[in-house]
Structures are given as structure tokens and as C-alpha cells.
Amino acid sequence: MTRIDAKFAELKAAGKKAFVSYVMAGDPDYERSLELVKGLPAAGVDIIELGLPFTDPMADGPTIQLAGQRALDGGMTLEKTLQLAAEFRKDDNTTPIVLMGYYNPIYSRGVDKFLLDAKAAGIDGLIVVDLPPEEDDELCIPAQKAGLNFIRLATPTTDDKRLPTVLQNTSGFVYYVSVTGITGSAEAQAGDVGPEVARIKASTDLPVIVGFGINTPEKAQNIASISDGAVVGSAIVSQMASGKPVSQVLGFVKSLADGAHRG
């Protein structure tokens, strides 16, 4: 059982929905990024999505693109991202970390070396947005063999014909993208999302977590009420970009987590 599996079992036993937060590793710099990540569990975050900065983030909107650029400009690398995770693990051995990004930096490092290093750093799962199920032999299958969950995205355009392929080697949870488009581009609507979550859950026992377009405690609550939990990314990244102290950003995160947990 991975930390992700254990966390969902714990939440289910408590009758609670999950709150997942996305933050960009190294934004605006390594020290503040680490401070933020270290503070997330106490702010109510159940699972941390750690963004891996990349030069061509095609699925991300301007907010996360700029965060990645700031991180890269500050010298952030895959190596330092794993170092940040390992630093977090010194004080927290239970909160799951999902590394979210693109395949190129992983490919450049070499899959076997990356998986070994990721496991050693305390990474629990991967979301690699530009590797479709047809490429599962490339990273997904090796990752699962190494004990890492491989989490897949389902979207409003994932029809009934495509869904079984998407779910085939997915583990940990299914990440449902609530809007068509890039991150931060539109608002999630519970009325639209509910039937889609139900459709996915009819085909899998995995938790279904909903992200994209959630930026207030009320929206987090609404989305969590019709799913297994909510993900917030751009709204948190925006708070960091505004230059607010990390303590203030964590206060905002707590309000979102409280909303999701009421769902």
C-alpha cells in the first residue's frame, strides 16, 4: 500500500473528502517553496502535488507557466525538485507527494535512474501529462513496478470508448479535469462535473479527484461534495506570485482545505 492508498483509506474511514494542493517546486525560490510545502499538511492538505518546472508546459495556463519560468530562472531543476521532496520527508513521512509535470526531464535523466531517485526522495506518485496510455511501457509500468502510483487525467472529452484505456494502468486516484482547456482558464461547475464523476466511478474503484477551475472555499466544498475531493493549483500559485508571506498563503490554503473537507 502506497502513502496515497493509505491516505484515501484514512479519509474514507473518517468520512472526509480529500484536499489536494498543487505548488510549483522552486517558485518563487527554493527556500520559500520549501517553506510553503512544509506548511501544507498543517494547513489541511491531504496530498501535495509538486510541480516539476519545464520549459514548454503545454497543459498549463499563464499562472502556472509563469511560476515554472520563475522557478527555472532561479535555477530549479529536477535534481533540486527531488531534493526539496527529500527535505520535506525529513519531518513528514505520511503526507503523499505526487510529482506532476512533463516527460522530457524524466527521459533526459533516464527512467530507471529517475524512478530510483524519486523513490529515495519520498515521491509517491506521478502525473505526467504528455504521456498517453499508449506509451505505458515507457514510464507507467516501470513506475508501478517501482512502487509509485501512476495517476491519469480524465477530461470532459474522455468518452466511454476512451475511458477504459485511460483507466487501464491508473492507480492511486483518477484526476478529473473539470474544464476543457488549460489550467486556470475557466471555473468548475458542480452541475456539469457531477455526472462525469459518476460515469468514471461506474468504471473504477479508484477515488476520483476533481481539479482545474477551483479557486474559493465554496467551490472546493461544492466540487468535493460530488467527488472524492478537490485539487487547487492556480489560485495558490497566484497567492505566491503576489509576494504574500508564506504564512498568509498557508492561511488561504487552510480556507480551501476546510471547504473541501466540508464537501
* DSSP secondary structure letters along the chain: --HHHHHHHHHHHHT--EEEEEEETTSS-HHHHHHHHHHTGGGT-SEEEEE---S--TT--HHHHHHHHHHHHTT--HHHHHHHHHHHHTT-SSS-EEEEE-HHHHHHH-HHHHHHHHHHHT--EEEETT--GGGTTTTHHHHHHTT-EE-EEE-TT--TTTHHHHHTT--S-EEEE-SSSSTTSS---HHHHHHHHHHHHTT-SS-EEEESS--SHHHHHHHHHTSSEEEE-HHHHHHHHTT--HHHHHHHHHHHHHHHHH-
Catalytic residue selected from 5, 27, 49, 196: 49
- Output the CA–CA distances (angstroms, integers) from residue 164 to 52, 233, 238, in the order listed: 28, 27, 35
Rounded-to-integer distance, Cα 5 and Cα 171, Å: 9
Catalytic residue selected from 46, 60, 124, 196: 60
State CA 141 to chain mean position distance.
Answer: 19
Residue 92 a catalytic site member:
no
Is residue 79 within 8 A of residue 115, CB to CB? The reply is no
Cell of 133: 496510455
Residue 60 a catalytic site member:
yes
Residues annotated as catalytic are 49, 60
